[in-house]
Structure 1
Amino acid sequence: MAAHFPINHHLRPLYRLLSALAGLYMLVFGVVGFVQTSGAEFFTRDEAEWVLGLRTNPAFSLLSLVAGVVVLGANLIGRNVAHHINQLAGVVLTVVGMFSLAVMQTEANVLAFSMVNVIVTFILAAVTGIASLYDRVGSLTAARAEEAHRHSARVA
């Protein structure tokens, strides 16, 4: 069974806005975190700072900055670029959250994650992932065909 994403959903601008705000948060967090942790070792856990409610080191700040630029940029561009980037961001952030949860109390916690970081990562994953379900763009013909397919009778 294939997934069917609605095309030209009437709430698409709202979902793009929410995903863009998630990207903006990642970008601002990355910039502020990178400035505040400058001078510390790249993967430090001992000198990690608290920035905008999250624990960070230079490595996590830089990754957040890059992710924020990508997500925010894709949502500003719009079209199906936002759809694909939001899908990817939702999956990647979910995987990062799960990995970070698994290694939080070990030496492998190179990004200095705390439980708050994991929760925020899952929230950002949910926002971008859910946005990707409704931000697909297509022609009017494709939208009508998708709508007809969704409402057609299923024969087993």
Structure 2
Amino acid sequence: MNLRDEMPVDHRLSRVYRLGAALCGLLLLVFGCLGFADSLSSFDTAGQHIAGMSTNGLLSTISVLFGLLLFVAALIGGNLASSVNIGVGVLFVLSGFVHLFLLGRPANILDFGMTNVVFSFVMGLLIMTFGMYGRVSGGLPHDNPYWRKRHSGDAARTRDGHARLSGSARAELPGR
């Protein structure tokens, strides 16, 4: 099964995934490039600040790499962009939790401060939201490809959208 099989190439949800990946990737690229422009050393934890967040060369490198990853996902689009958005968002949230515990410790090699932790949480949730939009919800419209994929199994659909259970599924209902 190909990742693009679930959703038509020109589906409008692809625009949301692409836009989210491109915007968040651009923000990360700008932050990383500003760090490089300031000629930061890789493991410096002396407290250089860019855009209100502490940074060093290693964090700038990671920011540029994730920004490029999101841009490539935006160029490809479709389910891949959605999946990359979700994956990168989860990594950002996990990074926020890890660095929350590393604040003020020698193991904090990325020189995270509290503003970086908050940024990591917010950026992670934003990227995940872009990736999950129209894909994860209880109220998806019936023309949504993800809704159709989930409901193409046991239940047959009527014209008004209500589920019509098959005979075996109806027999398994309580009280029958």
What stretches of structure 1 of length at least 5 have no aligned partner? 1-5
3-state DSSP of counterpart to 1:108: coil
Q: What residue is the counterpart of 1:114 in the other structure? A: 113
Q: What residue is the counterpart of 2:157 in the other structure? A: none
Of the two structures, which has the highest relative contact order with CA contacts closer than 8 Å and spacing of 6 or more?
1
Matched, 1:45 2:45: yes
Shift of 1:151: 6.5
Q: Would you say the 8 A contact 1:80–1:135 is kept in 2?
A: no
1:59-110 CA distance string (max 9 Å, x none): 1011001011101221122122201211110111111111111101111111
Shift of 1:32: 1.0
Q: Would you say the 8 A contact 2:45–2:110 is kept in 1?
A: yes
Bigger CA radius of gyration: 2
Shift of 1:117: 0.6
Q: What residue is the counterpart of 1:23 in the other structure? A: 25
Count the aligned residue pairs: 145
Q: What residue is the counterpart of 1:123 in the other structure? A: 122
Higher normalized helix content (fraction of residues): 1
Q: What residue is the counterpart of 1:134 in the other structure? A: 133
**Same amino acid, percent of matched pairs:** 31
- TM-score, normalised relative to structure 2: 0.69
Task: State which of 144, 148, 152 in structure 2 corresponds to 1:145.
Answer: 148
Quickly say closer, same or farther: Cα 1:15–1:151, change in 2 above 3 A.
farther
Quickly say closer, same or farther: Cα 1:34–1:106, change in 2 above 3 A.
same
Q: What residue is the counterpart of 2:139 in the other structure? A: none
Task: State which of 12, 15, 19 in structure 2 corresponds to 1:13.
Answer: 15
What stretches of structure 2 of length at least 5 have no aligned partner? 1-5, 136-142, 153-160
Quickly say closer, same or farther: Cα 1:17–1:41, change in 2 above 3 A.
same
Shift of 1:141: 9.4
Q: For 2:20, give the aligned amino acid.
A: L
CA distance in 2: counterparts of 1:104 and 1:61, whole angstroms: 18
- TM-score, normalised relative to structure 1: 0.77
